[in-house]
Structure 1
Amino acid sequence: MHDGMPVVVTVREIIDETPTIRTIRFDHPFSIRPGQFCMVWAPGVDEIPMGYSSPDTITVQRVGEATAALTSLAVGDRLGIRGPFGNGFSPEGRLLAIAGGVGVAPLYPLAAAGVVETFILGARTAEELTFATPLAALADLRIATDDGTAGYHGFVTGIIDEEIDLSSYDTICVCGPEMMMKGILDRLDAAGIAGRGQFSLHRYMKCGVGVCGSCSIDPDGLRVCKDGPVFTGDQILNSEFGVYSRDASGRKKRP
């Protein structure tokens, strides 16, 4: 896709991953790098950024009007896809992947490519774990749930503190709730290896191609859509990351 217009795709399969998360498979595969995203147009509703979970799928959690429309689609329905956009992950050496909730989606292609050694997957409850079964066959899978219904009882940072030597990995790829990611960045920084972390950021976007500036982050004006969405830990160490972001009107909000 080079002309800025969405590719109209047809839904080929709907997969219920959890009570609130669905994977939508469409009839057009895209040439992607793990961690890249697309702008998904739900006709008559909105256009929102979504990470690819494979070349022909997005994995969506129902949290608002646009995602509710997407998770209500049926086989044969159509939607628009612009992309792929962004830089994606660029891992080297031993790779640790850490995901929280639906943040597993852009990390899953790394595991599918066979380059992840250890994968830490977190969710609120056992029934909200996404891709746990295939991930167990692709990497050394460690699970954390907030309520203790599967794996470690607590947050993914608890597994890191008790079971993982971060310095033994060359690359740590992370996606999930921002405060979870900030906790991981703090640990990498304390170990003097912030630059080994690669964090997939989510910000409000309008264009997705670096023109409108709505996804710029303070203080350097890095654009999440064009310069990211993946940033190394040293790039965002002294930024707004984990402190605030902005809504559609530009007002600051807490992550």
Structure 2
Amino acid sequence: MRPKDAVITEIVSETPSVRTLRFDITFDAVPGQYLMVWVRGVDEIPMSISYSNGITVQKVGEATGAIFDLKVGDSLGVRGPLGNGFALLGERILLVGGGVGAAPLALLGEEAAEKGIEVTTILGIRGCDDLIFRERFEGAGDLVITTDDGSMGICGRASAGLSCLDLEDYDQIYLCGPEPMMADLIGRCGGMEAKIQASIDRYFKCGLGICGSCSIDPEGIRPCVEGPVIRGDRLLGTEFGRYKRGPSGRKR
């Protein structure tokens, strides 16, 4: 698949380290699918789709730093949408996001609300300055916020938000965020793993299931094509949340 040229039409600063880029093209995507974004002369990286015509980027490395240098009218190469997105199931759902993992969940929550599904969201962030898409989640349903520093909502990680909810009330639980956070949440939902859908962020080189850099031991699950959304019960007994691999394939 050759990249399409996506011209930036709008840049929104969500936080000091997070920006949303809107493009002149629309992606026919299921929430949870991703794009391979080509930053010319730098790298190609996977990015979740946060709007039908946009992505939300956190500045964490060389490629994302280069994206932050772009202006309206500049362009990126994009391949996708790729992979499997979230499957909307049931009448009451719970979304749990950590940091910029809120991006694909916001799109999912809006779609669910439009279909009459009851939505509750837990957003886990470091501090109040890191909150993104509050209005979108509140527009979709109830919102619970947790902060590591106690500056907003419940003090603690995203799992602290579970204390005010009965997980048995929800037909599906959707996760997106740091892998240790998601592994912890799956571990706290014993017996309910089959109704959990987790969006996995790993080192994707090809996005085609060829290189194996994103594989999850011991089955060799390839999140770039079999995911990035994978059901929680399939992750039981794997390396998920314990280690992953870097560009060289070495565990980290």
Decide: shared fold, TM above 0.5.
yes
The question of 1:172 aligning with 2:173 is answered: yes
Once the two structures are TM-superposed, the CA of residue 237 in structure 1 deviates from its matched residue by 0.9
Residue segments in structure 2 that go unaligned for 5+ positions in a row: none
- Report matched runs for 1:28-67 at 5 Å: 28-67=25-64
Aligned to 2:93: 95
Aligned identity (percent) is 50
The one-letter amino acid paired with 1:235 is R
TM-score (norm 2): 0.96
Residue segments in structure 1 that go unaligned for 5+ positions in a row: none
Query: SS at 2:48's partner residue?
Result: strand
Aligned to 2:141: 139
Query: SS at 2:219's partner residue?
Result: coil
The question of 1:130 aligning with 2:129 is answered: no
In structure 2, how many angstroms separate the alpha carbons of the residues matched to 1:251 and 1:19? Answer: 32
Aligned to 1:185: 186
Contact 1:198 1:230 in 2 (8 A): yes
- Report matched runs for 1:183-222 at 5 Å: 183-189=184-190, 192-222=191-221
Q: Could you tell me which of 4, 8, 30 is aligned with 1:7?
A: 4
The question of 1:68 aligning with 2:65 is answered: yes
- Report matched runs for 1:158-169 at 5 Å: 158-160=160-162, 162-169=163-170
- Report matched runs for 1:222-237 at 5 Å: 222-237=221-236
Q: Deviations over 1:113-132 (max 9, x none)?
A: 11451011111010100101
Once the two structures are TM-superposed, the CA of residue 15 in structure 1 deviates from its matched residue by 0.3
The one-letter amino acid paired with 2:211 is C
The one-letter amino acid paired with 1:95 is I
Q: Deviations over 1:24-73 (max 9, x none)?
A: 00100010001000100111110000110011100000000001111221
Specify whether residues 215 and 108 from structure 1 end up closer, same or farther in structure 2 by C-alpha distance, changes over 3 A only: same
In structure 2, how many angstroms separate the alpha carbons of the residues matched to 1:54 and 1:118? Answer: 19
The one-letter amino acid paired with 2:199 is S
Q: Could you tell me which of 13, 16, 21 is aligned with 2:13?
A: 16
Contact 1:21 1:62 in 2 (8 A): yes
Aligned length: 247
- Measured on the aligned residues, the alpha-carbon RMSD in Å equals 0.9
In structure 1, how many angstroms separate the alpha carbons of the residues matched to 2:184 and 2:216? Answer: 19
Contact 2:38 2:77 in 1 (8 A): yes
Aligned to 1:106: 104
Query: SS at 1:222's partner residue?
Result: coil
Aligned to 1:251: 250
Contact 1:97 1:116 in 2 (8 A): no
In structure 2, how many angstroms separate the alpha carbons of the residues matched to 1:232 and 1:137? Answer: 27
The one-letter amino acid paired with 1:101 is G
The one-letter amino acid paired with 1:133 is E
In structure 1, how many angstroms separate the alpha carbons of the residues matched to 2:106 and 2:148? Answer: 21
In structure 1, how many angstroms separate the alpha carbons of the residues matched to 2:118 and 2:189? Answer: 18
